[in-house]
Amino acid sequence: MSRAAAVQAATDYLDQGGFTADLARRVAIPTESQNPDRAADLGTYLDREMRAALEPLGFTCTIHKNPAPNGGPFLVAERREAGAKKTLFSYGHGDVIRGLDAQWRSGIGPWALVQEGEKLYGRGTADNKGQHTVNIAALAAVIKARGGKLGFNVVLLIETGEEVGSPGLDAFCAAQREAWGANLFLASDGPRLSPERPTLYCGSRGAMNFDLTVDLRPGAHHSGNWGGLLADPGIILAHAIASIAGPTGQIRIPEWVPAELPAGVRRALADCTVGGGEDGPAVDAWWGEPGLSPSERVYGWCSFDVLAFKTGNPDAPVNAIPGKATAHCQIRFVVGVDSEQFLPALRRHLDRHGFPQVQVTLARAAYFRATRLDPDHPYVHFALDSVERTLGTKPALLPNLGGSLPNDVFADTLGLPTVWVPHSYAACSQHAPNEHVLLPVMRQGLAMMAGIFWDLGEADDAIAA
């Protein structure tokens, strides 16, 4: 059989209902890693769904306990062929964010797959069950078209703790690196640049969450009796935050941004236009680092955001000066800045600006680090050429995803060149109620991945250089 036959078989899987049937079963398993009551469901997903899908394709599947306390289990599926010189490492995560059941609109919910037009609704459709379902089906199509062979080895890891920061993933992969012997990485997560345009990216921005707290006194005190006499922690914290970023979002701490935008990154992003489709919000052209295009701001630069701010009782305000104010903040960052210096630099900045009472605390001990494969790497060109051959259109190339993934584990700990091919889009409501995917995007994803897997079986080993 031929490459075209493999691509056709992959798209037939969606056209004939196989994709929706498989995804419906997977969405129905409530794998909320943030909910301790769902711990058993994490193992169920690996054993009942992933093992059942992979073993008929010739994979040997093993479920491993997480080395991190309270971390979710891992499934490792290995498929090896005699004489194969390349070993592809792939990845997906079976856990999802909280369902937020009551917040979904009428007629849909997190644990039942519902189709409305070209949209498939359900928790995990975009992040990440739908995406690794596409990739497994594409592997199956190529194995069948090649008479039971791929032409390369595969190690596939499915974790169940990505939504809580991937605890234990780095240690687990470090311990298995030599045994796996992988030399390439290919997986799918995150959104395309726009719904219409196939996209590849070479890494991800890092993400560090931290808390700012002004804790002046126990309890609150009547504003009529004490207004003008007691310092207001909300006002102090608001001014402290205003010193960190300007009124248009420009970061004011030099250690938090790169010295410059690399020429290779600028070249790649010159061909990229950010867009979330008709359901996405409009870009605020005036927000962020001046002098950069929207694509450069989100894929080539760093951003600071206040994710939550609390002072007093927002749901039922009273006439009292609160004693405490808190803000949960985040910095997304790219290669070229030292993340270990973020909080020390912030401490120095706040002290210089007269805010010694603002406490700075890292929200999690672990955080996602920034990674970026050189856009001129041979493996990147291989993947771009394969996608263009399949679809007849030039895909977008992002130096890194705007969001964050545990790509540092694959790029640094495993030492692999990393290429990601996302099958979602920015307005998919990932991490929110009404999460969904677009069927045309998933169909393209099946075609693209079947083409890449076919070509990988024929490619020269130099692509891993």
Burial of residue 56 (CB within 10 Å: 0-12, 13-18, 19+) is exposed
Helix ranges (H only) for 223-339 are 223-226, 233-244, 263-269, 294-299
- Confirm if 345 and 244 have CB atoms less than 8 A apart: no
Token output for 179: 């045994």
- Confirm if 370 and 334 have CB atoms less than 8 A apart: yes
Instruction: State pLDDT tens for residues 315-341.
Output: 999 999 999 999 999 999 999 999 999
Domain ranges of the chain: 3-204+370-464, 206-258+302-362
Q: Which CATH architecture has domain 206-258+302-362?
A: 2-Layer Sandwich (3.30)
pLDDT at 281: 84
Residues 6+ apart with CB under 8 A from 132: 92, 93, 94, 158, 187, 188
Instruction: State pLDDT tens for residues 163-196.
Output: 998 999 999 999 999 999 999 999 999 999 889 9
- Confirm if 452 and 387 have CB atoms less than 8 A apart: yes
Instruction: State pLDDT tens for residues 208-243.
Output: 999 999 999 999 999 999 999 999 999 999 999 999
* DSSP letters spanning 159-217: ES-GGGT-TTHHHHHHHHHHHH---EEEE--SB-SBTTB-EEESEE-EEEEEEEEEE-S
Token output for 219: 């309890």
Strand partners, 186: 419
How, if at all, do strands 206-215 and 396-398 pair?
Answer: unpaired
Token output for 17: 């209902």
CATH fold match for the domains 3-204+370-464 and 206-258+302-362? no
Which region, left, alpha or beta, applies to residue 357 given φ > 0 means left and ψ of -120 to 50 means alpha? alpha
How far, in Å, are 214, 319, 325 from residue 217 at the CA level?
Answer: 9, 17, 11
Q: Does domain 3-204+370-464 have CATH number 3.40.50.11610?
A: no
CA distance 59 to 51: 9
Report helix, strand or coil for 245: strand
- Confirm if 91 and 27 have CB atoms less than 8 A apart: no
How far, in Å, are 11, 70, 84, 198 from residue 394 at the CA level?
Answer: 20, 44, 30, 8
Burial of residue 149 (CB within 10 Å: 0-12, 13-18, 19+) is middle
How far, in Å, are 168, 170, 181 from residue 175 at the CA level?
Answer: 11, 9, 12
Q: Note down pLDDT in tens along the chain; length 465 residues.
A: 799 999 999 999 999 999 999 999 999 999 999 999 999 999 999 999 999 999 999 999 999 999 999 899 999 999 999 999 999 999 999 999 999 999 999 999 999 999 999 999 999 999 999 999 999 999 999 999 999 999 999 999 999 999 998 999 999 999 999 999 999 999 999 999 889 999 999 999 999 999 999 999 999 999 999 999 999 999 999 999 999 999 999 999 999 999 999 988 999 899 888 876 677 788 899 999 999 999 999 999 999 999 999 999 999 999 999 999 999 999 999 999 999 999 999 999 999 999 999 999 999 777 889 999 999 999 999 999 999 999 999 999 999 999 889 999 999 999 999 999 999 998 999 999 999 999 999 999 999 999 999 999 998 877 876
